[in-house]
Copies of this chain bind each other. A is one copy, B any other.
Amino acid sequence: MYDVAERSGVSIATVSRVYRNPDSVRQQTRDRVLAAARELGYVPSGNARGLASRSTGVLGLCFPDSSDPDTESEAGESDDDDAAMLYSDQIIRGMERAARRHGYALLIAASLKVGPESLVAKVAGRVDGFAVLARTVPTEDLEVMSRRLPVVMLAGPRESEQLDHLDHIEVANEYGERELTRHLLADHGLSRLAFIGSAEDSPDVAARFRGYRAACAAAGVPVGDVPDLRAPTMTQAEGARAADALLDRAAAEGTPPPQGMLFANDQMAVGALHALERRGVRVPDDIAVTGFDGIPLSRLVRPALTTVRQPMRRMGEAAVELLVQRLAGRNGTGTGAGSDLTVRPGVPVSLMLPVSVARRASCGCG
């Protein structure tokens, strides 16, 4: 910058102005500066700029390092560029779009190791605010960071009391599963259902199970306090295993098999579809199968999977809107108007995004 200033015979302040506020510089001067910059290959340092102005114009997103979900090693056509669009991809897309609208760039990183020097720390230090997928960053670290810049938590409920002040966006897990269950119960007249959860029972899964129970209870159908089965991981392989286990168990106990299997996510449901096919069990004629998430794959499988679709993209957008508002409120700029959601300083926002049941073939609708 000093070089540019010297070469164009102005002060560094003027060079700065040319980039920040071009109209405050005489056309002629501006051209001279720009020309010099070009000749010298000058690229303004975002770092220096950020340091001096205390803002980066960048928003961040941290998500878990989840290695690719398996494909039950059934390696189809989609070896590499598979159609499966991950959660994080959708959120990224939503955030990128919204960020762009507001003139922000997006910095993304999967949390690798923890401790100082984690990618998350790097992100936190380089953005004006960021979103985190639940359970990605240790609570304590999050707490510290959220003291310096706006943080919004995505998917998954408000965590421990430590993080009460964080904005947070989730989807209507409970409601979705409840509606789905009700559909099976009321519209398809099923009555013997099974819910397959996960070992850890993430908050999301727990909420879904609650919805399941609520619907059963409302319909007067007996239902246990815990999922009928908990898969170690929510993968296709485990889904397949779960379906087998459920059927084997019924056979061993001499009880009739369930008429419907409700999986806590699509991945498992898809795996179950395969397992049932292998056993010669017809879906949905013999057993209805449902998932949760609405991943693209759910529409590709045969029978197409009935599921609950989550608006991940909107979640990303909402996250950005929230962050932008927090930032506006922070530096006095903006009154909070112009958006459908208004935040008040100090008052954490909690958004619950609506979901919708996709009735497809696997429950007998398609």
Contacts and interface: CB of A to CB of B under 8 A. Distances in A.
A319 B272 CA distance: 37
Interface stretch (A37-45, A173-181, A250-258, A335-343): A37-45
A348 interface: no
Interface residues on A, range: 35 or more
B110 A107 contact: no
Given A48-B51, A121-B44, A126-B47, A77 B358 contact: yes
Interface string A141-168: 0001101110000000000000000000
Contacts of A330: none
B126 A126 contact: yes
Interface stretch (A80-88, A198-206, A234-242): A80-88
Contacts of A43: 121, 124-125, 144-145, 148-149
A33 B266 CA distance: 45
Nearest to A147: B41
Given A80-B313, A81-B312, A108 B109 contact: no
Interface stretch (A183-191, A282-290, A294-302): A294-302
A119 B100 contact: yes
B144 A122 contact: no
A58 interface: yes
A40 to B, nearest CB: 9
A22 B65 contact: no
A80 B44 contact: no
Contacts of A116: 18-19, 22, 34, 44
A77 B296 CA distance: 11
Nearest to A295: B83
Interface stretch (A90-98, A273-281, A321-329): A90-98
Contacts of A310: 81
Nearest to A310: B81
A58 B148 contact: no
Interface in A196-252: none
Contacts of A145: 41, 43
A86 to B, nearest CB: 8
A38 B41 CA distance: 41
A271 interface: no
Contact of A294 (B44, B81, B103): B81
A266 to B, nearest CB: 12
A125 B124 CA distance: 18
B47 A83 contact: no
Nearest to A93: B89
A311 interface: yes
A147 B332 CA distance: 39
B83 A125 contact: no
A132 interface: no
Given A65-B100, A116-B22, A300-B300, A83 B85 contact: yes
B313 A19 contact: no
A42 B144 CA distance: 7
Contacts of A45: 51, 125
Given A38-B140, A41-B145, A46-B50, 16 more contacts: A19-B116, A22-B116, A34-B116, A42-B144, A43-B121, A43-B125, A43-B149, A50-B126, A65-B100, A85-B85, A89-B92, A96-B108, A105-B108, A105-B122, A106-B107, A107-B108
